[in-house]
Chains A and B, each alone.
Chain A
Amino acid sequence: MVSRLRAREDERIDRGRPVTFTFDGTAVRGFEGDTFGSAMYAEGRRVFSRSFKYHRPRGLVCCAGQCANCMATVDGRPNVRLCVEPIREGADVNGQNVLGSVDRDFLSAVDRFAGPFTPPGFYYKTFIRPRRLWPLYEKLLRNAAGLGKLNPEATREGRFEKEHRSVDVLVVGGGSEGLQAAIEAAQAGSSVALVDDGPEPGGALLLTESGDEPARALANKAREVGVELLCPARAVGVYEGNLVPIEYDNVLIRMRATEIVVAAGVVEQPLVFPGNDLVGVMLPGAASRLVRFWSIKPGERAVVITADDSGARAVETLKAAGVRVAATVDLRATMPETIVASGKKGRVTGVSIDGDSVRCDLVVASGSPQPAHALLSHAGARVDYDAGRGVFVPVEVPDGIRAVGGAAGDVGQPGLPRPSFGGSGSKAKEFVCICEDQTTKDLRYAHAEGYDSIELSKRYTTVTMGPCQGRLCHLNSVRLYAETSGTDESLIGTTTARPPWSPVSLEVLAGRPHEPARRTSMHDRHKKLGATMMWTGEWRRPYAYGDPAAEVRGVHEAVGIIDVSTLGKILVSGRDAATFLERIYPNRFGDMASGRIRYGVLTSDAGRITDDGTIARLADDTFYVTTTSTGAGAVVEWFEWWNAIWGYELDVVNVTGSLAAINVAGPDARALMERLVDIPVDADSFRYLDARQGHVAGVPSLLLRIGFVGELGYEIHFPSVQGEFLLDALVTEGADFGAVPFGLESQRVLRLEKAHILVGQDTDSESNLLEASMPWILKLDKGDFVGRWSAEQVKARGLETRLVGFRLKTDDLPVEGGQIVGDGQPVGRITSVRRSEAADAIIGLAWVPADKAVEGASFEARVDGELIPAEVTLEPFYDPDGERLRS
């Protein structure tokens, strides 16, 4: 039965632009300006979904996106509220959570038969035994739960932006109160933005027969005085610092407001009576919206029952739409004992008020006009029950936010509806929470079972935990609870309102899908050279260019080139630079000559190893410190924090990104460098651990003769933007020497051959210098330094564990992290392990009990569930005397 009325002034639909979509495979025709729900209603559909638990037929109740009654799956997206979702050409809309269809759901058998077996919390009392069957029962429960179904093939679609704004006054709610507040603020000189969820502001004015004109006038006035109108848009919540995220088209506006004015009006509350969930029972606002927005006749014959003026307004609108109003009840004037709606096949056919029956196909009913105070609660306002008006009102509103109109509690003097109108006679279900299918009987049951606080009751019955999040059920549940327990509503309190105010999707919150990544200036060259890239923290680095074993060979036999630009690089300079470094590192630096380098290990103030790197003295008062790739930021912070306490004359400058670094290592490294540098690089002029400045291929550079890979090597630090150029020069000139680029994997093997630790892999948050076998770093014959007390304590109590090298006596490679076992207990772990061609063995580093830290000692490592013997070595596996390194 088509319910579309003739064209009305101010209707939202454009009859010149028809739109067609399908619902459950059948075509539905509507107009631009319709929502899916309105178009379907206009064509005569009344049943939109089946309820969560009982699979009862459900129809439109609020037409404002508050409840779950019209949820359906649209183009594969579940849980779309059809009553507010704008119509779209060609959309594929389907009912959800049914076996069969929305019109004929086989699961409605649950409603007929399951009732006595499914009181609230029935699942806590069932399926306990036998235990082994629980997974099966659980599967059944899980399949019964949930509303729509996700499309497993879905991908992220569409653009979602974020925008940062700030404004003097933000008004949420574009009804007459909100518009007036906005106009006043703008006239007083404030920058003002107003948010309303309709395509045009107007709020409740738009629901009255004569409200369009005044709404338009106010909106125009607002625009004139410079109010920025954001509609349709929705405020997500109020966060600290008056941050209000606003959903506006595909942009999430992160709005900061000096003052927030909440003009969100009231939320109409359903009445609680038997049959109150029948299709055709709706809130006054829903009836008005159907008529005024989409020119739809909501029914033929209506009964209107309200506790405030919303009834009279609804009657006016219904009559204008040609609906016969068979009876009206104003609960301010009369308070019936019982109200019982009856129906057929789930649709209302009549209402009985104190025994007097009235035939009808539409029941427009509402109870208390509950102020929409949620945003105030987010901001910290308390909420009190106003017994005289039967609603919760905000009190103790913090600074920076205020409410006007209905949201503030300005609701006149409504009637106080009974918590339930069922009386003692009716057997039909009276719903308190339509989202979760909880009835008055269920709530009374929970109370009898001892869930005697609103919070416990809520968690047990799940009332307010459904899609409406209490908007349409919280007040009623509190009032029923008060009646059942014989306490005052004010003593019961409310459950805390939390963001989001209305549900917001993950894609809107996520915004653009970019993740920060750091790349060295030679990134593209690496890829051109065939590198497979990997993540190290936030950096992208080459894993290998081909076969890592060939790269290792290249370094040992000829020369290898590796990009180590990710190293942290810090300049520490000033009169007190040396003193500072000695106080923060366990090392000694004061006696270092300019032009020399030392390997340093940083420890926490509890003496735990946190980072390592090289410290080169460039001048008396200037040190160049390197750190691990992921540690630069933390080390800079560490330095600055301690110096904030010590107050040395010092400057710390993070030049990590300013400089690229390339390590050239191998027996032919010197020969290659000779071709490119303009300073002497012979063994006498440029010794191991010397630092020199010069030019490499014309690029200004700091050269450090250090080595983590056991071969003669030069580390070139130079302006990062010249990275590609310098790498090209090295590769080109290096071709004559068979130079190979090498990546992280081969570097791992090489450094392991030298038993060089990787902080964070070979050490963890508890490792200290002595047990990590680096006693020479620790200089206790100097003044106090960060972590000194702990080093002394470790020394005093004796070492209990030690980091040592080992060789495995089999060919099976254990996992890094593998355990070392003694007497069936874990007594240590393997931190690094690799196969080394040069050492012709599987080598690694491991933490072992201190008494095993003896050359040749053996221990057992767990490999694939088996125990394999390993042999300790305290010497590097390759070039143990460092001859190649120092050549």
Chain B
Amino acid sequence: MSTLAFLSTDATADSRWTPIARSPMQRQQRERGARFETRHGWELAVAFPNESEMLESVGIAELPQFGKLDVRGAGARPSATRCTWYQMTPQRALCITDATITRSVRAELQESARQVVDVSSGLGSVALIGPRAGEFLRRITELESFPASGVVCEVHGHVLTINGGFLLLFPQEYGHYLYEVLLDAAVPFDGGPIGVDGVPRGTIW
């Protein structure tokens, strides 16, 4: 429904301007020495110093550019492969997409779902990657069989499994707080932040 176009960052149209999307964790990322690049309309932290070391334990990768779609009604799942489907209740699902296909998946889902609301801006997404990701997760949530929704770092969130670990989704407005908690919790693990480019191929999809 075009009535909800104002929710999507990719619905930009005025050629005089090039809007940029930023994550609430940017300042902390800059403080950690991240290198930034603009892609898909996003200013992304693509690399951090020493990030390959983090991957030996647990790497924390913020991936804000993913699409997140709130899907209502028992419609068909998307055909694309670079997306994850989380059926929360029989009538409600969350679809996480790679940034390049958010628009097309949204359109596809709108064909059969009762409603598709683009909540990409509303949910932050952070991937926990590495051999100790599971152990690390136990330090921040009681949830244990995934995908699951519940309390993560004292706020409501969702935890999905990915090939290389876990994907955390949480309300964007808690982003700064959550990043602080995650990076602090990673200290005893010698883990830390990794950039978008630091995520090994095949980790997410």
In the docked arrangement, what's the CA distance between A254 and B122, Å?
31
In the docked arrangement, what's the CA distance between A421 and B169, Å?
67
Q: Say whether A514 contacts B181, CB under 8 Å.
A: yes
Q: Say whether B141 contacts A164, CB under 8 Å.
A: yes
Interface residue? B84 (CB, 8 A) = no
Q: Say whether A571 contacts B144, CB under 8 Å.
A: no
Shortest beta-carbon distance, B163 to chain A, in Å? 23
In the docked arrangement, what's the CA distance between A683 and B80, Å?
46
Max chain A CB contacts within 10 Å: which of B3, B9, B13, B27?
A: B3
- A655-B117 contact in complex given A516-B177, A619-B1, A726-B19, C-beta closer than 8 Å: yes
Contact with B along A314-337 (1 / 0, CB 8 A): 000000000000000000000000
Q: Say whether B22 contacts A656, CB under 8 Å.
A: no
In the docked arrangement, what's the CA distance between A297 and B8, Å?
77
Number of chain A interface residues as a range: 35 or more
In the docked arrangement, what's the CA distance between A722 and B119, Å?
13
Interface residue? A512 (CB, 8 A) = yes
Shortest beta-carbon distance, A716 to chain B, in Å? 9
Q: Among the listed stretches B104-112, B183-191, B193-201, which one makes contact with chain A, having 4 or more residues with CB under 8 Å of it?
A: B183-191
B window 98-149: CB within 8 A of A: 114-115, 117-123, 138-139, 141-142, 144
Which of chain B's residues has its CB closest to A514's CB? Answer: B181
- For A392, what are the chain B residues with a Cβ–Cβ distance below 8 Å? none
Q: Say whether B19 contacts A699, CB under 8 Å.
A: yes
Q: Say whether A164 contacts B155, CB under 8 Å.
A: no
Q: Say whether B177 contacts A729, CB under 8 Å.
A: no
Q: Say whether A722 contacts B9, CB under 8 Å.
A: yes
Interface residue? A373 (CB, 8 A) = no
Max chain A CB contacts within 10 Å: which of B114, B121, B187?
A: B121
- A729-B7 contact in complex given A518-B173, A653-B70, C-beta closer than 8 Å: no
B window 36-87: CB within 8 A of A: 42, 64, 70, 72
Which of chain B's residues has its CB closest to A693's CB? Answer: B6
Which of chain A's residues has its CB closest to B23's CB? Answer: A721
Q: Which of A161, A722, A726 contacts B188 (CB 8 A)?
A: A161
In the docked arrangement, what's the CA distance between A724 and B20, Å?
8
- For A701, what are the chain B residues with a Cβ–Cβ distance below 8 Å? 6
User: How many pairs of residues, A versus B, come closer than 8 Å at their CB atoms?
Assistant: 167
Shortest beta-carbon distance, A693 to chain B, in Å? 6
Number of B residues whose C-beta is below 8 Å from A?
58
Q: Say whether B21 contacts A721, CB under 8 Å.
A: yes
Q: Say whether B72 contacts A719, CB under 8 Å.
A: no
Q: Among the listed stretches A14-22, A520-528, A837-845, which one makes contact with chain B, having 4 or more residues with CB under 8 Å of it?
A: A520-528
A window 441-456: CB within 8 A of B: none
Q: Say whether A573 contacts B115, CB under 8 Å.
A: yes
Q: Say whether B7 contacts A655, CB under 8 Å.
A: yes
Q: Say whether A698 contacts B14, CB under 8 Å.
A: yes
- For A719, what are the chain B residues with a Cβ–Cβ distance below 8 Å? 6-9, 21, 120-121
Q: Say whether A519 contacts B24, CB under 8 Å.
A: yes
Q: Which of B20, B122, B188 contacts A657 (CB 8 A)?
A: B122
Q: Which of A254, A524, A721 contacts B172 (CB 8 A)?
A: A721
Q: Say whether B155 contacts A163, CB under 8 Å.
A: no
- For A539, what are the chain B residues with a Cβ–Cβ distance below 8 Å? 173
Interface residue? A362 (CB, 8 A) = no
Shortest beta-carbon distance, B68 to chain A, in Å? 9
Q: Say whether A698 contacts B18, CB under 8 Å.
A: yes
A window 389-410: CB within 8 A of B: none
Shortest beta-carbon distance, B100 to chain A, in Å? 17
Which of chain A's residues has its CB closest to B9's CB? Answer: A719
Apart from A517-B176, A618-B3, A651-B115: 16 A-B pairs, beta carbons within 8 A:
A162-B139, A514-B154, A515-B177, A518-B171, A519-B177, A524-B27, A618-B4, A653-B72, A655-B117, A656-B122, A657-B123, A658-B119, A695-B13, A718-B6, A719-B6, A725-B19
